Amino acid sequence: MMRIRAILSVVTLLAWSPPAVRAQYEVDTAGTGALIREAMDRSEVMANLRYLADVIGPRLTGSPAMRKANDWTVERFREYGLETRLEPWQFGVTWVRGSASLRILAPFARNLAGQSWAWTVGTGGKLLAGPVVRIDASTRDSIAAYAGRVRGAWLLLRSPFPIWNPDGPPMTAADSVAMAERRRQLFPPPADTSEEGRKARQQFAVDRPYLLRRAGALGILTDGAKEHGLLTMSGSPNAVSPLPNLVIAHEDYALFDRLIGVGITPRIEARVENRLGGTPVTQWNTVAEIVGSQWPGQVVIVGAHLDSWDLGTGVTDNGAGSMVVLEAARIISRSGLRPKRTIRFILFSGEEQGLLGSRAYAAAHAGEADSVQAVLVLDNGTGRVTGQALQGRDELEQLWHDLLAPVASLGASNVRQANKGGTDHLAFVPYGVPAFNYDQEPRGYNHTHHSQVDTYDHAVGPDLQQASAVMAVTAYELANLSNLLPRGARTPVSVPVVIKPSPGLAR
């Protein structure tokens, strides 16, 4: 009997506690119907996305097209009635992609498709021919051990990326485990997780192409890491390479690895033209806002990155997210509703080079961090929003269920306890700001991401309309909460720095 009473007491306590917590964040859904109708019935998101992709095109940070995109989005926000500005920040050196021609010479002859890894040099106008050699370049000692094979060669530095044959049978649970293990072996976690170990790894990553150049290598070949000849592009001015680095199709990279494995040495030739700037340049984030009626100094930030890679036209990564941010601003402005807090819409640059634009913004506005209600970012492709990952703020789970309630019928209802990485919301987390990146349907994002097919053809209009509605509704609701959300833990802010090669290597 005592045990039953104890259980009843616990049940009573549990039944009583959630309403108290829920009342702390009472969500006012008034007006959300008008926002949803504006998003679904009078959308401009696809027209804006089409202009961004097809007219302005790819927007590599530091390029004229990136500045053109900044200026165009400023004008669009102003046309929608928002106060708008460009906020400058210092970027690294510019990089301009030139032409690239590659060809297999042996064991047979045919052309190769490939592109330069960003912020790497070209071949200086020369056609460089040589064998393809696989080496272990994981340490200085291993590079020294392969010195006799490096000179005059194009290098494979890793085994091929594990890819499941899309034309074969479906992957089983056992296959999935095996693939995960192969990927773990290809990219093993560091043995030394200390700050000193992290810095040493960063320094070696910068030094490695200099060491390989000194050893006489012609260049590096990098696995495109996608099927059907798609390429994965990346690179940063924080790690400029003095050695040509060419991304080739996974199928060709795997071919070279197989040939080497049976004792046959492939040979290729390549000519690449790239251009590196000499000094850092200024870049900009586009910032627009609807000023709050009651607490204008408190802000909900809604963001996405406007920059892109340049093999395609940067639609799913992340023109789609940027145009959803622009559309959310239009929806709220055109609805006639006035949020109690300011809603600030930011289109960041430099995300693809290491969240550089959002980190610069967060640092410049660090003194205002305690007045930022939340940061909402969209950056996982063209798919509809399915819900929200809590980013370690599990105490806000009920709040997010309530925020998403008006758009649950649109398919945005899932709230999960998970952390998401890789995009601009992370720049605000060290300052204690509640920051989130919406979950989305993938819609082929793993294929289009950073590849030459990241184009308007892969945009899904109804999904982006839905995402615009979700963003507008949740941003508006957060702006109208009666109180500010509690701050998270503050952690040391990692400031991106240009790591220079060790003394003697740069010459």
Check residue 54 and give its pLDDT. Answer: 98
Place of tokens 């991106």: 496
Q: What is the rounded CA–CA span in Å between residue 414 and residue 263?
A: 52
Check residue 1 and give its pLDDT. Answer: 43
Query: Looking at residues 393-411, what average pLDDT do you find?
Result: 98
Check residue 17 and give its pLDDT. Answer: 38
At 494, the pLDDT band (50, 70, 90 cuts) reads confident
Check residue 239 and give its pLDDT. Answer: 92
Check residue 506 and give its pLDDT. Answer: 75
Question: Is the separation of the CB atoms in 28 and 477 below 8 Å?
Answer: yes
Helix (H, G, I), strand (E, B) or coil at 137: coil
Query: Looking at residues 107-120, what average pLDDT do you find?
Result: 97
Q: Is the pLDDT of residue 10 over 60?
A: no
Q: What is the rounded CA–CA span in Å between residue 437 and residue 387?
A: 10
At 9, the pLDDT band (50, 70, 90 cuts) reads very low
Measure CA 290 to chain center.
Answer: 26
Ranked by mean pLDDT, the top range of 7-11, 414-418, 496-500 is 414-418
Query: Looking at residues 122-128, what average pLDDT do you find?
Result: 96
CA angle (474, 480, 477) in 5-degree steps: 15
Structure tokens at 53: 């992709």
Check residue 79 and give its pLDDT. Answer: 98
Question: Is the separation of the CB atoms in 98 and 107 below 8 Å?
Answer: no
Check residue 21 and give its pLDDT. Answer: 42
Structure tokens at 479: 């702006």
Q: Is the pLDDT of residue 498 over 50?
A: yes
Q: 319 CB contacts (<8 Å, ≥6 apart)?
A: 49, 52, 53, 306, 308, 313
Q: What is the rounded CA–CA span in Å between residue 155 and residue 133?
A: 5
Q: What average pLDDT is seen over the chain?
A: 94
Partners of residue 342 on adjacent β-strands: 299
Q: What is the DSSP letter of 316?
A: I
- pLDDT tens per residue, range 336-392: 999 999 999 999 999 999 999 999 999 999 999 999 999 999 999 999 999 999 999
Check residue 98 and give its pLDDT. Answer: 96
Query: Looking at residues 197-210, what average pLDDT do you find?
Result: 94
Sign, Cα dihedral of 265, 271, 273, 276: positive
Question: Is the separation of the CB atoms in 347 and 285 below 8 Å?
Answer: yes
Query: Looking at residues 459-468, what average pLDDT do you find?
Result: 98
Residues of the chain with pLDDT > 70, as a percent, come to 95
- pLDDT tens per residue, range 286-306: 999 999 999 999 999 999 999
Measure CA 81 to chain center.
Answer: 29
Query: Looking at residues 205-220, what average pLDDT do you find?
Result: 97
Q: What is the rounded CA–CA span in Å between residue 34 and residue 26?
A: 20
Q: Is the pLDDT of residue 15 over 80?
A: no
Check residue 253 and give its pLDDT. Answer: 98
Question: Is the separation of the CB atoms in 474 and 404 below 8 Å?
Answer: yes
Measure CA 192 to chain center.
Answer: 26
3-state secondary structure 29-56: CCCHHHHHHHHHHCCCHHHHHHHHHHHH
Check residue 497 and give its pLDDT. Answer: 80
Query: Looking at residues 441-469, what average pLDDT do you find?
Result: 97
Check residue 76 and give its pLDDT. Answer: 98
Check residue 507 and give its pLDDT. Answer: 66
Query: Looking at residues 459-476, what average pLDDT do you find?
Result: 98
- pLDDT tens per residue, range 133-162: 999 999 999 999 999 999 999 999 999 999
- pLDDT tens per residue, range 216-243: 999 999 999 999 999 999 999 999 999 9
